[in-house]
Amino acid sequence: MRHLLAIEQLSREQIEAILDRAESFAEVGRRDIKKVPTLRGRTVVTLFYEASTRTSSSFELAAKRLSADLVSVKAAGSSVDKGESLKDTVATLSAYDPAAIVIRHPHAGAAQMVAEWTEAAVVNAGDGKHEHPSQALLDVYTLRRRLGPLDGTRIWIVGDVLHSRVARSNLIAFRKMGAEVTVCGPPTLIPRGIEALGCEVVHSLDRVAEAEVVYALRMQRERMRESFVPSLREYAASFQIDTRRLSPRQLLMHPGPVNRGVELSGEAIDSPQSLIAEQVAAGLVVRMAILYELLAGGERPAPLAKGEDVAQPTPIGQPA
C-alpha cells in the first residue's frame, strides 16, 4: 500500500492487515511510555484545509507515538490564506522530504491529486464529501472488537448521507467486510443512485429494530436553510435515534461531533450501548497502524509485537 486515498481502493485483506496492526498498537497505549521508535527521523506533515478536532489531533498524536517529526499546517493563517495553490503548497512542503502527508481538504479528489505531486505517502483525512477512509477503518476496528467478523451483520446508516464522506467510506468498508447495509434518511438527503454501492435505501426508522448496529450521521443546521428538511424539529421527530427507538441489544455509533438532541438524544449518547467513546480511542491506534503500514509496513510484523504479550480484545458478551 503506497497511499491511503479511498476505502474503495482497499481489499478486505488490506483492511484486515491494518486492523490487526492496530490491535498490536492498542497494547502500546497501555504502557507507561506510550511511544515506539518506528518512525524516528522521518517526517509526517498534516495539512488541514478544514477545521478538525479528532482527526487532526489523533493523526498528530499517532505520528508522535511512532516517534516521527511532525509538521502541522492549518489552512488558516498559512500561505493558503495568501492564495497559494494546493500544488504549490505541496511542492513547498515536499522540500522537507516528508515520509507522509496527511491531508484534509474540502474538495473531492484533493488527496489523489497530492499523491501525483509528491514522493511522500499520502493519507486522505477527508476529501470533500467523497471519502474519509481512516474513519471507516476505525469504525470497522471498533465494531470488530465488539462483534468479531462482520459477515452478515446488519448495519443501518441513518441521516444526512448526501453530505457525508463518512457515510460513503463506511458503507463501502462495511460492505467489503461482509456486512449488510441499509441507509436511512429523508429522500432529500439520500443521494440518487447510492444503491450502486450495494445497500438498501429506506426512508423511515420503522424497521430499525432489524439492525444490530445503528450508525447515526451528523445533521448540520444549515441543511434546513437549503430546504433539505423543513426543520430540525421535524427531522428529529422522524429520524432521531433515541432510547425509545433503540433497543438495548443494538449498538450505536456516530463519527462526532454530535448534535445532541438532533440526530441523537442525550440519553442514547450516554447509554451503555453507545460506542462513541470507543470510536475516538480507536482513532489513535488505527491511525498509528495506517502510518505504520504506509511507512514501515509491507509484510514485516510490527517490531513492538515481538516477544510482547499482546492483549487480545474481549469478545462481546464476556466480562472485560
Say which amino acid occupies 291.
L
Nearer to other proteins, 7 or 22 (CB): 7
Nearer to other proteins, 86 or 280 (CB): 86
b/e map 301-313, b = 16+ CB within 10 Å: ebebbeeeeeeee
Smallest separation, CB 177 to other proteins (Å):
18
CA 295, CA 291: separation in Å to the nearest integer? 6
Smallest separation, CB 10 to other proteins (Å):
15
Smallest separation, CB 211 to other proteins (Å):
22
Nearer to other proteins, 179 or 285 (CB): 179
Which residues are within 8 A (CB) of 52 and not within 5 positions of it... i.e. 6 or more apart? 104, 125, 126
Give me the torsion for CA of 227, 228, 231, 235, rounded to 10°.
170
CA 304, CA 291: separation in Å to the nearest integer? 15
Other CB atoms within 10 Å distance of the CB of residue 58: 23
Smallest separation, CB 168 to other proteins (Å):
6
Smallest separation, CB 164 to other proteins (Å):
8
Nearer to other proteins, 95 or 196 (CB): 196
Residue pair 185/242 in contact (Cβ under 8 Å)? The answer is no
Smallest separation, CB 227 to other proteins (Å):
11
CA 310, CA 27: separation in Å to the nearest integer? 6
Nearer to other proteins, 111 or 121 (CB): 111
* Pairing relationship of beta strands 69-74 and 43-48 according to DSSP bridges: parallel
- Taking the CA atoms of 174, 179, 184 and 189 in sequence, report the sign of the dihedral they define: positive
**Largest CA-CA distance found in the chain, in angstroms, rounded:** 59
Smallest separation, CB 83 to other proteins (Å):
12
CA 289, CA 141: separation in Å to the nearest integer? 11
In the sheet with 69-74, reading across from the earlier edge strand, the strands are: 69-74, 43-48, 100-105, 121-127
Nearer to other proteins, 11 or 85 (CB): 85
CA 142, CA 204: separation in Å to the nearest integer? 26
Question: What is the grid cell recorded at 47?
Answer: 495539512
Nearer to other proteins, 113 or 268 (CB): 113
CA 191, CA 198: separation in Å to the nearest integer? 13
Helix, strand, or coil (residue 227): coil
Smallest separation, CB 139 to other proteins (Å):
17
By the criterion CB under 8 A, which residues form the site for other proteins?
8, 85-87, 105, 107-110, 112-113, 127-131, 165, 168, 191-197
Smallest separation, CB 88 to other proteins (Å):
9
Nearer to other proteins, 183 or 241 (CB): 183
Nearer to other proteins, 48 or 292 (CB): 48
